[in-house]
Structure 1
Amino acid sequence: MHILLVEDDKEITNLLYFYLTRHGWRVTSCETYQEAIKKLDSSISICVLDLMLPDGDGLDLLAEIKKQYPNMASIIISAKTSSLDRVKGFEVGTDDYITKPFLPEELIYRISKLTHLKTSAEVVKIQDYTINQVQRSVYDHNDEKIPLSTKELDTLLYFIKNKGIALSREQIIAKIWENDSFVNDRIIDNQIKNLRKKMPRLAIDTLYGYGYRMNG
């Protein structure tokens, strides 16, 4: 697996590079926004990026990554610890958010979990959409691929497995986010908003004051 590491602190970069490559992963590191843009390519599976870069905003970089490579996974590593900063990151499209300081082993765990492919070979068809759970890909009725983030796809699969069942926001947080204390209702609502925008024929009902239910 190829990882793009964007971090301007050389000590952190060297430490993470050591641990990630020792885990068997290929790592390309860079320190600036512009350098990261130049090194982006389709071989990269996941981008690990800081928010405070010397020549630009990490959120702007993330937005550009999502524009060029919508299916590329991403993890923000940042000293910004407020819930608002985390919400902004998830709204732009990050799959995970780790606050500094953290242990390299935590990042390795998060990367492994994020990129783990589900083993089920079942191809699910629902409301004119086809979901291949092995390839973790989604296609519309014209066989056009729909770019979903890892969390968006996990949420979609969770709804499909519980079709017709009312799911509370707390249940969604527990299943998709493993009860991350920084994840709140706004982040969940934003995930559903993104799913509806990308897959407008999905029948997801809002249960006001409770959560959501997929029908159809």
Structure 2
Amino acid sequence: MKTPLILLHGALGAAAQFEKLAKELSDYYEVHVPNLPGHGGTRMPDESFSIALFADALAGYIRTNDLEQPSIFGYSMGGYVAMYLARHFPNMPGNIITLGTKFHWDAPTAARELKMLDPGTIETKVPAFASALATLHAPNDWKEVVHNTALMLEEMGRHNPLSLDDYKDIKSPSLIMLGDRDKMVTLDETAAVYRQLPAAQMAVLPGTPHPIEQVEVELLSGMIGRV
């Protein structure tokens, strides 16, 4: 019987981004690739985007599919959601693997990220990205996804949902990964969380930037299989 493994996308992302990774891992795991609320064409939630909302949705997915302590790989924001789930639903997840997760949030951090989340600027300066977002989130309006994400990050800048002390209470075996070319997430914040976790490993992936589309699938699948 294969171990269940959930692949969790990042902010502005969707399950479709994991097609190659899911195929690579399917020989060894029972792979699940859900979309978080409002992403990948799923219905926009009545309440605002938040880490708590996404963690509740993930918990609901685990219950609905009768998954017993599934391993969870979370890319970027997906890793934060997985950690939040483990903190608040400690018996629900099995192993947790994160890649490129930004753990440190304060007002200046949020302000930097918000500069890149203006739909008009995205359309004008990076039209290919705007087109990709439109495809990922259809039939939803991708601009609404961007706007709701910006509001969430602004709130995270005011109040980080997980403090460093929270990670001490996460008992799930964890692998915390960062790409050596990641320009969004720092080594310091990644190592700080790694040091707080009671049962963690840490890895720096060579030649790896932040965007999931630029991560080598074979390298990532091999690392996931180590935990």
Same fold (TM > 0.5): no
Q: Give the structure-1-normalised TM-score.
A: 0.40
TM-score calculated relative to the size of structure 2: 0.38
Higher helix share goes to which structure?
2
The structure with more strand, counted as a fraction of residues: 1
Larger radius of gyration: 1
Q: Which of the pair has the greater relative contact order for Cα pairs under 8 Å at 6+ separation?
A: 2
